[in-house]
Amino acid sequence: MVVIGTIENLVKKVITPDIKISFGGAALFLKPMEVVREIIRQEIKDLIIYTLIGDLDIDLLLGVKAIKELHSSYVGLPMIGMARHFRKAMEKEQSVDFYEWTELSMVRAFQAGAMGTPAIMLRSLLGSDLVKLREDFEEVTYRGMKYIQVPAITPDLAIVHAYAADQNGNVFYPKHHALDEFSTLPAQCAKQLFVSVERMITNEEGRELIQQGQSTMFSSIDVDFVVEAPKGAWPSGFPPFYASDMGHIMTYSGMANMPETFDMYLREYVFGKSQEAVQ
Amino acid sequence: MSKSTDYEPIDLIVISLAREINDSESCYTGIAIPSAVVAVQLARMTHAPNLQFFYGGYWINPDLDVDLFTIMTDTEAFVESISKAQGFSHLVQLYQYWEGPKHTLSFGIIRPAQIDQFGNINNSVIGDPHHPKFRFPGGAAAGDIINTCSRVIAYVPRHDVRTFVPEVDFITGRGSSPKWRKDVGLTDYQGIKTVVTDLAILEFHPSSGKMCVRSIHEFSTIDEVQENTGFDLEIPKDIPTTRAPTKEELDILQSKADPLSIRNFDSRNR
């Protein structure tokens, strides 16, 4: 049964310390940013996060020390530079356990989670020191061939941002945007799915979308929680509806430099209402 | 820099990368390394019109006259980039070519933060991985490309001893050692074959797997190359000079392949 509610209520109800979460999106596209901001507003801590390419989502959460364990292949602000809180957390504070994957191994582990197989073998990690850091990565021989076996990723919850949801919880996102797999892969391996959408629509509007040739990104049986969050991926991009707000991300990058300016950023764009002015 | 030229070092890097590409090959480049996509586009516009190109895992054979920065910041440009691509790839579709059932991609292009004399690369961390002195963003797909593409072309915008180290602090992607590749059964994937820098073009000895000089640029000297490398390079007796860009290459680079000069994101002052 899909629960439709406000972002305040459902984040409070569902996202608890020590929960394992996979985020949809990658590299400043399709990130569930409004849910990230709500997690910060509610001061929820000790999260375990999986994201293929971490950017502002991860750097914000690390800035408020909300993540205790992080899995990703890359954490930075693509085209702009380093993620400052990520570096600080790693180099100065040692406040987060970071597990670096490669893109392929992480996607295969998402797929393994979706298949219900406990682990998957691949070859691209052979010879990499990433394997030495991990007790759960293992070199194995299968029919005379060497592989690295990695565990499936099985989060408690996936959080993704999509275009629209009808009153039954069917979720829509235009199909021809190949970016959708950045969100469907982390969703399919998780036990539960939390979706923020640009807008709620009626069931009739949902049927019209299907008649226009769209398909559901997730059907109601896949979905557990739905909240409405207009511009909910901002400042990451949500094509074809809005682009990544690189100007804002550059502003962030500057303000993340010092604790005082980062606090100003949080007051302005996370706790404040000025973000509506931006939108 | 002993000689002035009518082009910038980054132009020669991009043009030399493009020359490493053969027509009708297939390839992948990531989205965060601007000179790679410019080099591929330049090759497609000159000698390699039949290249099959996965760009960032979304676009297939894009006819982009805008750069990725514009695509990310301008929704209309993003939508237009889709209409100008010959196809659009899902992640899992791309990965059919990385260890999947499809043919192996001919090459990938990477930009290592550190590289050693045997072609191991580090895009992860300097110092103790749990208590790092410097934490790079992470390898993303660089480690995967090294073991799934037939060959890898690397570029280093600023050739110096911080990047060229005797032994990398951390192996994000394993090097070109033919012996190791034979031992683990990865002989179809040769690792890094060529490294293009702002001073020289480097390659690896076919049997020892050790880095050697293929050519030096017309504005650099072999002493400069060696001084900026943290280990002894194998140097041929007669050192070839890297072929200077032709007027046609420079024209197409500036007017069509990279009109907005995104390659300058990779440019480093010396």
Taking phi over 0 as left and psi of -120 to 50 as alpha, with beta for the rest, B138 belongs to: left
Q: Which A positions 106-125 lie with beta carbon below 8 A of chain B?
A: 107-108, 111, 122-125
Whether the CB of B88 is below 8 Å from some CB of chain A: the reply is: yes
Instruction: Specify the domain boundaries for CATH 3.40.1080.10 within chain A.
Output: 3-101+154-278
pLDDT digits (tens, 9 = 90+) for A36-60: 999 999 999 999 999 999 999 999 9
Mean per-residue pLDDT, A84-101: 95
Whether the CB of A178 is below 8 Å from some CB of chain B: the reply is: yes
Rounded to an integer, what distance in angstroms lies between the CA atom of residue A123 and that of residue B93?
18
pLDDT digits (tens, 9 = 90+) for A154-191: 999 999 999 999 999 999 987 656 788 999 999 999 99
Residue A259 has pLDDT above 50, yes or no: yes
Q: Which B positions 54-83 lie with beta carbon below 8 A of chain A?
A: 58, 68-69, 72-75, 77-79, 82
Short-list B253, B17, B93, CA closest to A181: B93
pLDDT > 90 fraction of chain A, expressed in percent and rounded = 84
B125 interaction partners in chain A (CB closer than 8 Å): 90
B88 interaction partners in chain A (CB closer than 8 Å): 176, 178
Mean per-residue pLDDT, A19-44: 96
Question: A182: helix, coil or strand?
Answer: helix
Nearest to B133 among A91, A100, A126 (CB): A91
Query: How many helices (H) and strands (E) would you count in chain A?
Result: 11, 15
Cβ neighbours around A83 below 10 Å, total? 28
Question: Omega of the bond prior to B157 within 30 degrees of 0, cis?
Answer: no
Whether the CB of A99 is below 8 Å from some CB of chain B: the reply is: no
A124:B148 CB<8 A? yes
- Domain for residue B2, yes or no? no
A185:B72 CB<8 A? no
B174:A122 CB<8 A? no
Whether the CB of A140 is below 8 Å from some CB of chain B: the reply is: no
CATH code of residue B35: 3.40.1080.10
Mean per-residue pLDDT, B158-180: 95
Residue A112 has pLDDT above 90, yes or no: yes
Residue with tokens 């059964």: B185
pLDDT of res. B68: 63
B184:A242 CB<8 A? no
Stretch among A258-267, B34-43, B47-56, B261-270 having the lowest mean pLDDT: B261-270
Rounded to an integer, what distance in angstroms lies between the CA atom of residue A163 and that of residue A196?
8
Mean pLDDT over each residue of chain A, to the nearest integer? 94
- The most distant pair of C-alpha atoms in chain A lies apart, rounded to whole Å, by 61
Best mutation site among A128, A137, A184 for testing chain B: the one with the most B CBs within 10 Å? A128
Q: How many domains does chain B have?
A: 1
- Domain for residue B144, yes or no? yes
Q: Which H helix or E strand runs over B151?
A: strand B151-156
Please give, rounded to a whole number of angstroms, the shortest distance from the CA of B238 to a CA of chain A.
35
Cβ neighbours around A167 below 10 Å, total? 16
- Domain for residue B60, yes or no? yes
- Domain for residue B119, yes or no? yes
pLDDT digits (tens, 9 = 90+) for B76-122: 777 677 667 777 777 888 899 999 899 999 999 999 999 999 999 99
Residue A69 contacts residue A48 (beta carbons within 8 Å): yes
Mean per-residue pLDDT, A227-250: 92
Contacts of residues B69-73 at CB distance under 8 Å and 24 or more positions apart, as own/partner, are B69/A79, B69/A246, B69/B260, B69/B262, B70/B260, B72/A28, B72/A29, B72/A79, B72/A237, B72/A243, B72/A244, B72/A246, B73/A243, B73/A244, B73/A245, B73/A246, B73/A247
pLDDT of res. A277: 46
- Between residues B269 and B23, which one has the greater pLDDT? B23
Instruction: Tell me the residue range of the domain where B35 lies.
Output: 9-266
Q: Which B positions 123-142 lie with beta carbon below 8 A of chain A?
A: 124-125, 129-135, 137-142
The 8-class DSSP code of residue B76 comes to H
- Where helices occur in chain B by DSSP H, the ranges are 9-19, 34-45, 68-73, 75-83, 91-95, 142-148, 178-184, 222-227, 247-252
A145 interaction partners in chain B (CB closer than 8 Å): 185
Rounded to an integer, what distance in angstroms lies between the CA atom of residue A190 and that of residue A14?
14
Residue B101 contacts residue B92 (beta carbons within 8 Å): no
Rounded to an integer, what distance in angstroms lies between the CA atom of residue B269 and that of residue A123?
38
Residue with tokens 């000689």: B3
- Domain for residue B20, yes or no? yes
- Domain for residue B196, yes or no? yes
Rounded to an integer, what distance in angstroms lies between the CA atom of residue B189 and that of residue A11?
46
**A3-101+154-278, superfamily in CATH?**
Glutaconate Coenzyme A-transferase (3.40.1080.10)
